[in-house]
Amino acid sequence: MALDWSPLVAWIRQHHSFLLMTHIRPDADGMGSQLALAEALRAIGKQARVVVASTIPPRYHFLDPDGTRIERYRPANPTFQEVDAVIILDTGTWNQLGDFGDFLRNSGKPNAVVDHHQTQDDLGGMACIDTSAEACGRLAYELIRALEAPINPEAANSLYMALATDTGWFRHSNTTAATFTLAAELVALGATPTPLYEKLYEDAPISRLRLTGKALERLQVCLDGQVAFTEVYLSDYADTGAVPGDTEDLINYPRSIQGVEVAVIFIEQPEGGTKISFRARSRVDVSAIAQQFAGGGHRLAAGARANGTLPDVKADVLRAIETALRV
């Protein structure tokens, strides 16, 4: 679905300073979209602040090595009130905004959402949603082009990172011919795929690999081999030296098992409750299952955070998956 960007372009031209936000536990698609759009806004004479509402996982520290490109949202910081408007990228739900949600509700700042996920809330502003887009980076690129802003090598690299990671480095089913066309254009504009890949996937601390080992030890299959799952406990971080952000790619292991239709990882949360990540092949819409646990996402990739202990949440989720498989 091709979006008409003209309303958002007109809205942007009405404002001067912007706060660019993405979802909590930010990933390469969300932050890549933020960073690229910020470069474009500055190039057309606007001010832009790239802000996140939770800790940046260690694997993405290379995006902001000196801590000057990406700000951590703090409710007590009054300078966030100084922006004219807010643009939210790669999410459109309240539960993915963390404590920034209160700011958005109460500040009165106009906002716009640019996103490609199926699950959406009404955040009270303009919504530019295209669920057919393989990455939010695609939509950020389209918006930048609609703004007639230049794409410098730094922005091209950010957009390439967003596009490549949300397609599993061009191996997921959301990859199309148009994906490769855009990737080629971004490389021509200055993106550097090899250093990006090395930073993202070949620069892991040993603690992350030790955490991966624990998750692999707990890997199980059930429901006649159609479902695979594993678990991460809070104690694992102390045992391995890893951090919660190191769990990001663990879901790929249960999904890679032969015959598995749905993969799940259950992760204990420091503040209580259980984070759930889903991946599917084709038979099951895991976003519909995630919505049963106050989550959402895409048909083949979704997530949720449920109250309750990991064993209780696991039992409930596996029952919901079993029901979905029977349909």
Q: What is the pLDDT along the chain (327 residues), one digit of tens a residue?
A: 689 999 999 999 999 999 999 999 999 999 999 999 999 999 999 999 999 999 998 899 999 999 899 999 999 899 999 999 999 999 999 999 999 999 999 999 999 999 999 889 999 999 999 999 999 999 999 999 999 999 999 999 999 999 999 999 999 889 999 999 999 999 999 999 999 999 999 999 999 999 999 999 999 999 999 999 999 999 999 999 999 989 988 999 999 999 999 999 999 999 899 999 999 988 899 999 999 998 988 899 999 999 999 999 999 999 999 999 987
Whether CATH 1.10.240.10 fits 6-201: no
User: Do the first three CATH levels of 6-201 and 206-326 match, i.e. the same topology?
Assistant: no
- Alpha carbons within 13 angstroms on the beta-carbon side of residue 258 total 0
- Which residues on adjacent β-strands are paired with residue 276? 266, 304
Give the predicted TM-score (pTM) of the model: 0.87
- Which residues on adjacent β-strands are paired with residue 127? 113
Whether CATH 3.40.50.720 fits 206-326: no
Q: List the domain boundaries for the chain.
A: 6-201, 206-326
**CA distance linking residue 103 with residue 24, whole number of Å:** 14
Structure tokens given for 265? 């990882």
**CA distance linking residue 97 with residue 37, whole number of Å:** 19
Dihedral class, residue 127 (left if φ above 0, else alpha if ψ from -120 to 50, else beta): beta
- Could you identify the residue written with the tokens 């408007």? 85
| Structural contact between residues 80 and 73, judged by C-beta atoms closer than 8 angstroms | yes
